[in-house]
Structures are given as structure tokens and as C-alpha cells.
Amino acid sequence: MLIKNCKLIYLDKIEEGSVLIEDGKIKEINPSSIANDNVIDGKGLYLSPGFIDVHIHGAGGVDTMDGTYDVINTIAKTIAKHGTTSFTPTTMTVDKKDIRKAMSAIKEAKIKGTDGANVLGAHLEGPFISPKAIGAQNPNYLIDPTIENFNEMVGEDEDAVVSITMAPEVEGAKELATYLSDKGIVCSMGHTKANYEEAMDGIKCGFCHSTHLFNAMTPFTHREPGVVGAIFDSEITTETISDGIHISYPSLRTAYKQKGTDKVLLVTDAMMACGMQDGMYSLGGQDVEVKNGAARLLSGSLAGSVLTLDKAIRNVYNNSNYPLNEIVKMASYNGAKHCKVEDRKGLIKEGFDADLVIFDEDINVKMTIVNGNVVYNTL
């Protein structure tokens, strides 16, 4: 497959060019004249690395916690239409046996592959979080952060765990973070009421990321810097739900200016209503009403989102002065680094997996290619 006549989005620049794909990989960039039966005319549109979503609960009317391969496959197909080529299905604070069931489905999808986006592994959001920053999680299923509880949750599928969100101030969390980070699992601060000192202690013990910046964490003030202050005052990475609902755009711009675009990942935190109409849905067994693009529990708390990564990129592009390549980096290469696959994903580079997206000036996705296969096409 040869994709020609497009603007290639690199980490540091955007240049016109063409890409030759062979055996699911990017074989050559700007090849000299090659006879190819399968030529795609990019029509002067952008060719981007595929987007990577490291925090997503569901889409297409299904939830990761439904715990089957078919459900993960449905999510993979739904989000591929919006340019996402890899993701980490995200679990909720629910019963341990339900998390284990979901882990089994995620592992199967990772090994077997899907009809859409690649499954890179799981993100466990909870159940080792603070009852005082519960958000849309279920407080009835909070348990102590211990190695034993972790092992019971993941069973034989530990090798499919990419990341886990925990509250560093909860007793046992720092010790578990040290244990898990030594195994290569990303430990993320989130759903936490830690103060600045507790957050910084957590970072010393292995927390290297933070979940949905500003949401369900202690805010930054001039005398109490909180978890947000610790994130800003350290080298850990963070993620933003850039839908204009979870975070205002001035706050987003401030965060990006403080952290730099190398340290921020765009995520969706999408739930099952992503790609669906407004109405009643559920998240982690709790009723959620989706109205005017916002998903909320009946109590009024935000319950994930219906955001897609193409829209997140568009929102940041339209509400900041960052060049498009830097915004795309936050939705692709930074996620690849987070999942430790930056040696094969997240860039348009020879030898890398052919996970690519073609989109127009308004970030409307026209084609999605996963492992060299066209999985979505309106060109």
C-alpha cells in the first residue's frame, strides 16, 4: 500500500510526502517511484500517527466491565472511526471478580487482536482510591491496596496490566506502588485527597503519572498546592480530558504551559455512550444520564465523557496556539511512551507499525489504518 499526496505529521514538523506500507509496517517514507497496485491518494490531507487512548471505559453502547471479548472488540471498532488505533480498556471500582473477568477479556483481545484499534493492555482505575474523591466510582467496592488484593483482581493476566490509578495517601498505596512500578506497571495518582507532601512522597515511591488532571484530586491554591501542585512541581506525566467540560480551556492552557506538551497525554475517559445518542446509560453499575455532550451520575457528578480523541485534538487546536504536530504528539507518541511501545508505535517512522490516520483541516477523520489494514474509510 502506498499513501501519497499528504501532509505527514512528525514530532517536530509537518511536511508533504508519501508512505509505503508493507506487511503491516511503514516500510519507506517518500519512496522513489514504486509500482504499487494499492495506491491511496491522500488528496493533500494530513497523515498522522494513530491516536492512543490510555483511559477509556467504553464506547458504542458497551462497557469494559461487561467483561467479554466481543465488548472490547465493539469499543475497538467504534473508536477506530475517530482515529484511535490503540487503547487500554479501563476498569472501574467494582467487585474483584468482575475486574478479573474484564482482565481476562482484555488479555484475550490483546493477544487475538480486534477488528479496530489495538488493545495494548488494561488500565485499572481503582479500587485503591480515596472515598473522599470517589467521583463516578462506586464506594461500596473500595478495598485496601495490598499485593494480595491486586493479585486476586488480575489473576494470571498481570502481564496485560499497563497502568493502575491509586490514591497515594491511602494506607498501603505507596508500598504497592513501589512493588508494581518495579514490575514495569505505571502507577498513577488519581481519585485522591492527598496534600502536596503526600503526593510528593507518592512520587518518590513510584507514582509516575496522574489521572485526569484537575478532576477528583486536591486543587492548587497559593498556600495548599495539593496534588495539582505536586504534578506541576515534578516531572511526572499527566492526562487531560479536553472536552471543555471537565476542564476549562484557560486551565488547560495553563496546564500545558506548566507541564509542556511532552508530559501531557490527551485521553477521553469515554464511557459506553461514546458514539451514541443522548440518553440513559450506566458506568460501573451506576446510572448515567448523557445530555448535551456531558455524562453525569444522577447526583450530578461527571461520569466519564463521550469524547473522542479526534475531537480532543480539535478542541485543543481551536482553543490554544500550539502547532498541530505538538497536539497530535499528546494524542499519539506520548501515549505510546506511557504504554512502553514507543519503539514501534506513535510515530510516522520507517519500521514502525502502520497505525495511521488521514484527516482534514478541521480534524475530521477520513481514514484509519491499523497494522496496515484500512479499518475505516470515507475518502
- Catalytically active residues are 269
Classify strands 122-125 and 161-166 as parallel, antiparallel or unpaired.
parallel
Q: Cell 451520575: give the residue.
A: 297
Q: Cell 479500587: give the residue.
A: 127
What one-letter code names the amino acid at 374? V
Instruction: Determine the Cα–Cα distance for residues 283 and 19; give it in Å rounded to an integer.
Output: 40
Longest dimension (CA), the chain: 66
Q: Is the dihedral of CA 210, 211, 215, 217 positive or negative?
A: negative
CB 192 within 8 A of CB 168: yes
Select from 89, 91, 80, 84 the least CA-distant residue to 115: 80
Residue 318 CB neighbour total at 10 angstroms:
11
In the sheet that holds 279-283, the strands lie side by side as 279-283, 286-291, 294-297
Q: Cell 467487585: give the residue.
A: 95
Instruction: Determine the Cα–Cα distance for residues 277 and 306; give it in Å rounded to an integer.
Output: 10
CB 309 within 8 A of CB 51: yes
Select from 196, 143, 184 the least CA-distant residue to 166: 143
Q: Work out the burial of residue 156: count CB atoms within 10 Å of its CB; fewer than 13 is exposed, 13-18 middle, 19 or more buried.
A: exposed
State the DSSP code for 270: B
Instruction: Determine the Cα–Cα distance for residues 180 and 163; give it in Å rounded to an integer.
Output: 9
CA angle 127, 333, 274 (to 5 degrees): 55
Which residues, 6+ apart, have CB-to-CB distance to 82 below 8 Å? 51, 275, 308, 309, 310, 311, 365
